[in-house]
Every structure is written in C-alpha cells, then in structure tokens.
Amino acid sequence: MAKKSHSRRNPNHLKQPETRNRKTKRHRGSQRYDQPGAEIVELNAHSSPSEGSRSYRPPIKPLQPRNPSQKRFITAIRNHCLTFGTGPAGTGKSYCAVALAAEYLESGKIEKIILTRPAVEAGEQLGYLPGALDDKFSVYIDAFRDILNERLGRGAVDYCIRHDRIVAAPLAYMRGKTFNEKTFVIMEESQNSSTTQMKMFLTRIGEGCKVVINGDIRQSDIRSRNGLADAVERVAGLPNIYIHEFEHNDIVRSGMVRQLIDRYECDSA
C-alpha cells in the first residue's frame, strides 16, 4: 500500500495576492493622462470635449478680466468676428485671447485653434535659430503653450497638437489657407507684419470663424510701415470688427513694467 505524502505546505499558499491591474475603459482613439488630484478634461473633434482625449488638470476658475479694459476686450472677442487688441506689453492681450480660445475649444464652440505671428523678433529671423522649421518656430509660441497648458492641461494640449486641433505656424505659412467655421485664429506681435502680410492674413477670414489680432503699434521691429497700424486705419468703422486699445494704466504684469515702458517711450519721443 503506497504511503501518502505528508509534505508541509504554507497554509496561506492558496491565497493569491491582489496583483491584477485594474484597466480603465477607454473609447477608441482616446488618450488618458493621469495626474493625481485633478479633474478629467476631454476633447472631441466634432462636438463637446468629452470623447476625443482625456487629460487631467487642476480645476481652474472661469476666465475673469482683471480690469474693465480686459472685460471690454473679452466681450468684444465674444461678439465680433474680428477683434484688434493694441497697446503696450503687460496688458493681458495675449492671455485673454488664448484663454478664451481654450475655453471655446473645451466647450465645443470651436474645433481648431490656429496660432501665428510674424517670424521676426528684435531684428532676428528664423534662419538665426538652429533646427527644422517646427523647432525654430516653437521658440516663438512658448507663451501660447504656457497659457493653453494652464487652461486645458498639458496632456490635452499635446493631444490637440498631434491631431491638428491646435496649429501653430509662421505668418508666411498662412498664404493659401482659409479660416473656416469653428476656427479660432490668433495673430500675435502683429506690429512686425508688413502691410502685404496683413492683407494676406485678413483675406483668409471665412464665414463663422473668430479672429484676434494683437500687437503694439509703437514697438515694431520692422523698418517699413507695419501692417497693424495700416490695418487699424483701413478697417475702422467696418461692421463686425472691433478695435480695442489698451492704455498704460491697463498694464497688469507689474508696476515696474509700467514704469519701464514710460521711461523708454519718453526717450523715444
């Protein structure tokens, strides 16, 4: 008669450790970006931002103007097809425009943001910088990305860039394009555009899009008459176009910036 084996076993050997990974259900084509302690933001290419990509960002307050001038500017952008924002640095022209574009994209009011600016900076052009075109121009749009990351979350912004829902390109590359419905277009540093470039840009505007052109007429880095000054004179009084001028007292960046701009403009007067 065979003897039974009496090998000792750990009494807990039947207990399996809970090591199974919990998988999150995803819709096809979605992306998820996990950052603890933040809410989900989802972007969709055809409707409200709830099906296309998921990104986590800390909850933020709705866009609020910091002074009456910003409030008028934001209201003008909401109510007009084309809005010009002129005035000194530090008044919040860029922040208001880009933050509002992010709000429109997140809510599904638009499907694409186009960011552009002349590739001229303090007398230097793109050829001065190393790398391919995308690498060169990325230097010019870092400020855009900072605002978008704050308002949408870095993961959502990366997703939108990969899927051409946020597009950035030099002003020269706008030729031949049409700004269609549900597109929010922002041109920054427009005082560095030529009159020819500005005409080319303005004639890209299609039905149902929203366009914001920002710049400081007095801070142009080009020698000839700049396109912003020329355009403001030409379009004044046309319907569905608003020209908003920020003043020195509207500077919100810091009191020092206001004082420095005053000194520099006194020297150039």
Residue 187's domain is classified under what CATH number?
3.40.50.300
Question: Would the pLDDT of 256 be above 90?
Answer: no
Q: What is the pLDDT of residues 130-183, one digit of tens each?
A: 455 455 556 667 878 899 999 999 999 999 989 999 998 889 889 889 999 999
Question: Would the pLDDT of 252 be above 90?
Answer: no
170 DSSP β-pair partners? 117
In a domain, 17, yes or no: no
- Domain range enclosing 216: 67-268
Instruction: pLDDT band for 257, please (50, 70, 90 cuts).
Output: confident
In a domain, 37, yes or no: no
Tally of domains in the chain: 1
Q: What is the pLDDT of residue 82?
A: 98
What separation in angstroms does the CA of 248 have from each of 91, 93, 231? 8, 13, 22
Q: What is the pLDDT of residue 149?
A: 92
In a domain, 4, yes or no: no
Q: Could you tell me the two tokens for 213?
A: 């052109």
Q: In whole angstroms, what separates CA 119 from the centre of its chain?
A: 17
By mean pLDDT, which of 46-50, 118-122, 148-152 is the weakest?
46-50
Q: What is the pLDDT of residue 25?
A: 42
Cα–Cα distance measured from residue 67 to residue 252, given in angstroms and rounded to the nearest whole number: 8
In a domain, 61, yes or no: no
Q: Which of 214, 210, 215 is nearest to 112 (CA)?
A: 210
pTM comes to: 0.74
In a domain, 39, yes or no: no
In a domain, 78, yes or no: yes
In a domain, 92, yes or no: yes
